[in-house]
Chain A
């Protein structure tokens, strides 16, 4: 197969330096995104939102903490398991990996912190957590798209910001929004996760 590297002879020093810069730039932007985390959280959120919807409309007993605490616990436990299962070198970081990881950590920690604090202080507002999480997820997707070069993820970011705009515009925030969030989790988290995973597995 013909390729850019078939001729192993180096060119002139100026060309070599240009190639070094190009490869170092590619290396800096490297982020290995396998899609597993999107699939994990997408499935958990879809189930949790749907169960809460059934609970709000009386098909299941009334519950809030009983749904979200086990969901978060399962998610973080699986994340812990995945991190331990990775070979140590895959945890090596560069600025792009740090930006990508930090953006998603901000989503998880901020949402969890708001949920915990608001439940403890009895000030939980589903509209606020929807706006908060949708806005942050849009931002995290945008950062991931930028550092990985997977440009179509920007459309997923726009999707989350559309959810943010829709939730903000609602005068009456009722249980139907839980169905919207369940659908958003499936379409804007689980589905991109499967697509990224498929592309990652095929080395694209």
Chain B
């Protein structure tokens, strides 16, 4: 029996898409919107919705720019996002009795 308290689960990260976004960005640090869409296999709207939620909590920041004449949106994990992600993963590991 682990001493994990389910009430400490971070609701912002606790969704399949947002967890996948945070996991990817935790190691990549930054990625293009289209790249995330391809890796996660989600629609534009779905990804935007989840990114908005992460951005509202300052876990990621987005920056719009241009490569040539083509618009590009970059998504970057913040320090706060990294900390929250680490805490979330530690919580799951604790639930499983892993350290």
Contacts and interface: CB of A to CB of B under 8 A. Distances in A.
A73 to B, nearest CB: 23
Given A26-B39, A28-B28, A89-B74, A14 B23 contact: no
B43 interface: yes
Contacts, number: 105
Interface residues of A, number: 37
A17 B93 contact: yes
Interface in A6-61: 6-10, 13-14, 16-17, 19-20, 22-28, 30, 32, 34
A5 B46 contact: yes
A94 B24 CA distance: 12
A27 B15 contact: no
A7 B16 contact: yes
B52 interface: no
Given A3-B42, A5-B41, A19-B20, A28 B27 contact: yes
Contacts of A7: 16
Given A13-B96, A23-B23, A27-B23, A8 B16 contact: yes
A17 B92 contact: yes
Interface in B9-44: 14-17, 19-20, 23-32, 34-35, 37-43
Contacts of B31: 27, 30
Contacts of B19: 10, 16, 19-20
Given A1-B43, A8-B17, A90-B74, A32 B93 contact: no
Nearest to A203: B34
Contacts of A14: 96
B72 interface: yes
Contacts of B40: 3-5
A92 interface: yes
Contact of A92 (B64, B70, B76, B98): B76
A168 interface: no
Given A24-B27, A27-B26, A13 B92 contact: yes
Contacts of B27: 24-25, 27-28, 30, 94
Interface of A: 1, 3-10, 13-14, 16-17, 19-20, 22-28, 30, 32, 34, 85-90, 92-94, 201, 203-204
7 contacts: A13-B96, A17-B89, A19-B20, A24-B23, A27-B23, A89-B74, A203-B34
Interface of B: 14-17, 19-20, 23-32, 34-35, 37-43, 46, 63-65, 67, 70, 72, 74-76, 89, 92-93, 95-96, 98
Given A20-B23, A26-B39, A86-B67, 4 more contacts: A9-B16, A20-B89, A30-B28, A90-B30
